[in-house]
């Protein structure tokens, strides 16, 4: 039995693939090694793994994760997997961007992107990532992501630069709070990227508002302007994307892709089904 995981910053989607080919799906928290350490991952998994998962029978773990930017970050997660699944003889930890490319493109070359809590993108040759324009994470970049959209919304909320009825909804329904409340969440409490991205739901819930629709379009325009258009010959590729933000706002995303001369291929919420199929066929 093996486990395949697509790990975002907010949530990890898992598939237990049995020796007979049966698939069992479950979720845990996200495990971005920039925001959580090995003991924290172990504690979360002990709490959130299904009670009927036979941990001792797990022979391999293939974990694709946000924030896995090199061997040091990969080891944060690998150490937790070895502790939780002590009989696993193969533990592979790699970046979530490769999961996106494999799920979206299989063994074909092309362009793949992630638009979820954070942002990432690449050119893929059918086996490996061959070019990546750094998204620079939520402090400096992550244009098009849930965190970026949340930052734009909170900025306008605190400055009073959104329509009055939306200001009221942010305050009363989403409990955005005061300037001090927001800055405390961002600077003094854990997982500020998740906090920012949580406000993407506000834009989705109020997508009938021209203000929210325009904000989403501006976020995707920034994504294309600062990331996508810097890939060589980017217009020769179809635009393929995974992630809740890309999927939920796919109409606006398609519009912006077309404005930038790219045809749209696959836009899916989660790669886990296609990723399991990739491993079954490998």
Q: Quick check: helix, strand or coil at residue 50? A: coil
Distances (CA, A) of 73 to 39, 53, 57: 14, 26, 26
Separation between Cα atoms, residue 203 and residue 35, nearest integer Å: 25
Average pLDDT of the segment spanning 233-242: 96
- pLDDT of 67 strictly over 80: yes
Q: Identify the CATH homologous superfamily for domain 2-99+272-281.
A: ATPase, nucleotide binding domain (3.30.420.40)
Count other Cβ atoms within 10 Å, centred on residue 208: 7
pLDDT at 101: 95
- pLDDT of 138 strictly over 90: no
Alpha helices (H) along 141-249: 146-159, 164-172, 179-187, 192-197, 200-205, 210-226, 244-248
Domain boundaries, the chain: 2-99+272-281
* Nearest alpha carbon to residue 59 among 121, 17, 15: 17
* Nearest alpha carbon to residue 154 among 173, 136, 167, 139: 167
pTM (two decimals): 0.81
- pLDDT of 20 strictly over 90: no
pLDDT at 11: 85
Q: How confident is the model at residue 47 (pLDDT cuts 50, 70, 90)?
A: very high
Q: How confident is the model at residue 149 (pLDDT cuts 50, 70, 90)?
A: very high
Tokens linked to 228 = 């996508």
Q: Are 241 and 209 in contact (CB under 8 A)?
A: no
Q: How confident is the model at residue 18 (pLDDT cuts 50, 70, 90)?
A: confident
Per-residue pLDDT of 212-236, as tens digits, reads 999 999 999 999 999 999 999 999 9
- pLDDT of 263 strictly over 90: yes
- pLDDT of 9 strictly over 80: no
Average pLDDT of the segment spanning 164-190: 90
pLDDT at 282: 58
- Averaged pLDDT score across all residues of the chain: 92
- pLDDT of 281 strictly over 90: no
Q: Are 116 and 149 in contact (CB under 8 A)?
A: no
Q: Are 223 and 262 in contact (CB under 8 A)?
A: no
Tokens linked to 59 = 């022979």
pLDDT at 280: 77
- pLDDT of 173 strictly over 90: no
Query: Which has more confidence, 9 or 91?
Result: 91
pLDDT at 139: 86
């Amino acid at each position: 039995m093996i486990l395949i995981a697509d790990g975002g910053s907010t949530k990890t989607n898992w598939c237990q693939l049995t020796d007979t080919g049966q698939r069992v799906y479950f979720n845990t928290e996200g495990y971005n090694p920039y925001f959580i350490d090995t003991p924290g991952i172990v504690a979360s998994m002990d709490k959130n793994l299904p009670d009927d998962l036979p941990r001792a029978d797990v022979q391999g773990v293939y974990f694709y994760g946000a924030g896995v930017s090199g061997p040091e970050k990969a080891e944060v997660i690998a150490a937790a997997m070895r502790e939780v699944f002590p009989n696993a003889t193969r533990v592979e930890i790699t970046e979530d961007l490769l999961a996106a490319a494999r799920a979206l493109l299989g063994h074909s070359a092309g362009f793949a992107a992630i638009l979820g809590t954070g942002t990432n993108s690449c050119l893929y040759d059918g086996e490996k990532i061959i070019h990546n324009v750094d998204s620079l994470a939520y402090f400096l970049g992550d244009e098009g992501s849930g965190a970026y959209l949340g930052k734009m919304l909170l900025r306008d909320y605190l400055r009073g630069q959104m329509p009055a009825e939306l200001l009221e909804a942010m305050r009363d329904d989403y409990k955005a709070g005061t300037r001090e409340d927001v800055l405390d969440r961002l600077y003094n409490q854990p997982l500020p990227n998740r906090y920012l991205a949580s406000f993407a739901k506000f834009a989705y819930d109020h997508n009938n508002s021209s203000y929210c629709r325009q904000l989403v379009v501006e976020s995707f325009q920034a994504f294309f302007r600062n990331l996508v258009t810097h890939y060589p010959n980017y217009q020769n590729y179809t635009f393929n994307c995974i992630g809740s933000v890309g999927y939920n706002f796919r109409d606006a995303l398609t519009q912006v892709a077309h404005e930038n001369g790219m045809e749209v291929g696959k836009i899916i919420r989660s790669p886990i089904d296609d990723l399991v199929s990739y491993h079954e066929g490998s």
